[in-house]
Amino acid sequence: MAQILETINATIKFGGLTAVNSVSITQEEGEILSLIGPNGAGKTTLFNLLTGVYRPTEGNIKFYGEEITGLKPHERVAKGISRTFQNIRLFHEMTVLENLLIANPDCHREGIWEAVLGGGKLRRKRQQGVEECEDILRAIGLLDKQEELATNLPYGKQRLLEIGRALATNPKLVLLDEPGAGMNSVEKEELSRLIHYITDDMKKNVLLIEHDMKFVMGISDRIVVLDHGEKIAEGKPEEIQSNPLVIEAYLGKGIPEDEDD
Amino acid sequence: MKFLNDPKKKKIAYLVLLVLLAVFPFVITNSYYLHVCISIGVYILLATSLNLVTGFAGQLSLGHAAFYGIGAYVGALLMLNFDVNFFLAMIASAVVSGLFGLLLGLPTLRLRGDYLAIVTLGFGEIVRLVFVNWAEVTRGPLGLPGIPSPSIFGFEISGRTAFYYLVIVLVLITLFVMSRIVNSGVGMAMQTVKIDEIAAESIGIYPIKYKLIAFVVAAAFAGIAGCYYASYIAYISPTTFVYNTSVTILAMVVLGGLGSIPGSIIGACILTLVPELLRFMSDYRMLIFGALMVFMMIFRPEGFWGASKRVKNIYKIKAGGAKNGSDSGDNQRHD
Ligand SMILES: Nc1ncnc2c1ncn2[C@@H]1O[C@H](COP(=O)(O)OP(=O)(O)OP(=O)(O)O)[C@@H](O)[C@H]1O
Ligand SMILES: [Mg+2]
């Protein structure tokens, strides 16, 4: 199996705080990998390192074997990494369809002359862009809400729309930061179906952060556990569930002095 | 304004408006009124262009008058010293102003909000000082008199009526280009940069690129306005291209409604007309004007025609309905 994502000793320090400390993870093509850990463990920060919001203080990030540590966020999107945010960051004043359209590479790469001159070729390209978004809208169940402003959607739907927006960039890997947060159990089931649709039907890879243990254990092929910025465990869901280090981290038994091993 | 949602009625409304504009000089022969109309036209050029930077790309600029001035001086100097045809001079004004737009846009690579506003303010001041102090070329505070009128194929465009029609043509071209830009992927990308840069980056948009496009295009159109103004008024001096002018243009954009082209047009009309209407009470003019602005911002912070009134589907193509789109020919036209 091909390795799609690899971090090698990824480290980032904010002043005195080491938010991510020498974390090495890998993700194989086709597997759903999850990142878990207590609050403040460094999960979102690791996502920010993967997507280029932050540059690591030390360490490297590789995507399909290619070094991407120095690339800017938009360049990483072009390589095929896209994401959602823990605190939803939709373009609230835009419609559902526009939120997807603008993520479509053909849309924002429209040239300015092309836009001014218009014409049939541009119109066909736009038509095709809309049709590509249509498939995503259908997958996230928002086809009938396409003209609604994003801000008017209920919370759970906003989460789905943000996933849709990430998909519209035509990624190889989608990073989902707590996609189930704030969702009820029905919505979570919908979400779980969507994630399987992304991996099985769209043939994309998913790396996700999630706090809902039942959800994570059910959906993940493999899990990485972070605590205080360090990777404390990794393995299959069953292995993680019975790992004493993980239980300790979650029960808060970890005493700061004992952490130097 | 509901009837404007129907494309057919909208076309008719536009047509009526065009006819009214065309016959206006025949009905109203008072040249002061024509002058006010021409001023409105120039300010529409300035406001719609600044709207691209501030309303769409979300970059606060307090130096728009500098581009207006650069366009005016470049155009005037070319026409005066090198006998360049007005229309060529106008293209040169657009290009030079656009290049300065790039120059000013570059600091936005790092700056945001207030800091950017200060840089643009400083830029405007530097440009004005160059007009004042580079006396060998600009004649400093004395200004440049005797700027020629445009001529096409030997026919001179002179007199207010001719200039009135010329500005209408320029406004129509500008509005066409601006609406094409904002109703495109480029325009949408600009708006994502305004709304949330991190989110924009997360979907592959490079914010700097769109900020620069906005700055350059806006500067080029302000340059065109400057060249036109120089030829119309026949005399330019640094006092026109001051901070006050930049603020007035910004006020038009904000008052009309950030991120809305009709808003900028309305803003330009109101802020040109109101001071003229209040001319009779010269002492209290600016006071009342200021009070109106405050009143407006309290009761309609979104402006007269805010972005919320914009078309809710930039491409005017619906998903799902796209394939059997018998009416799609009409829907896809952008105006
Ligand atoms: N830009 C920043 N500057 C300073 N500290 C930061 C920054 N970003 C994150 N941190 C710190 O890094 C640590 C890890 O934060 P992070 O958001 O990655 O945690 P998390 O695992 O996502 O937690 P949660 O489950 O609450 O979302 C926290 O202590 C946080 O305060
Ligand atoms: Mg987090």
The CATH number that applies at residue B94 is 1.10.3470
| B145, part of any domain | yes
* pLDDT number for residue B330: 38
B239's CB contacts (< 8 A; 6+ apart) are B141
At A259 the pLDDT is 38
Query: pTM here?
Result: 0.88
Q: Give the total number of structural domains in chain A.
A: 2
Question: Residue of the nearest CA to atom 7 in ligand 1?
Answer: A14
User: Does residue B333 form part of some domain?
Assistant: no
Domain boundary among A170, A187, A214: A170
Same domain, yes or no, for A194 and A157?
Answer: no
Is the CB of residue A123 less than 8 Å away from at least one CB of chain B?
yes
End of a domain among A170, A199, A234? Answer: A170
Residue B91 lies in a domain: yes
Q: SS3 for A56?
A: coil
- B225, B66 in Cβ contact below 8 A? no
Query: What pLDDT was estimated at residue A258?
Result: 39
Specify the pLDDT at position B52. 95
**Which stretches in chain B have pLDDT values below 50?**
322-335
User: Exposed, middle or buried: residue A49 (CB in 10 Å: 0-12, 13-18, 19+)?
Assistant: buried
Q: What is the DSSP letter of B108?
A: G
Instruction: Please state, in angstroms and rounded to a whole number, the distance separating the CA atoms of residues B197 and A184.
Output: 30
Residues A231-254, mean pLDDT to the nearest whole number: 82
Instruction: Quote the ligand 1 centre to A93 CA distance (angstroms).
Output: 28
Mean pLDDT of A157-169: 95
- If one compares A67 and B281, the residue with the highest pLDDT of the two is A67
- The closest-lying atom of ligand 1 relative to the alpha carbon of residue A54 is 1
More confident residue, A71 or B283: A71
What are the tens digits of pLDDT across the range A174-205?
A: 999 999 998 999 999 999 999 999 999 999 99
B335 assigned to some structural domain: no
Mean pLDDT taken over chain A:
90
Residue A1: per-residue pLDDT: 60
Domain housing A164: 90-170
Tokens encoding B334: 């952008």
Look at residue B5 in the predicted model and tell me its pLDDT: 62
Nearest to A187 by CA among A169, A163, A152, A222: A163
Token output for B38: 């021409």
How many Å apart are CA A87 and CA B328, to the nearest integer? 37
Question: Is there an atom of ligand 1 within 6 Å of A42 CB?
Answer: yes
Percentage of chain A exceeding pLDDT 70: 95
Q: Do both A166 and A129 map to the same domain? A: yes
Model pLDDT for residues A1-45, shown as the tens digit of each residue: 689 999 999 999 999 899 999 999 999 999 999 999 999 999 999
| Mean pLDDT calculated for residue range A127-153 | 91
Euclidean distance between CA atoms B224 and B90, whole angstroms = 6
Q: Are residues A14 and A73 in the same domain?
A: yes
Contact A116 B177 (CB under 8 A): yes
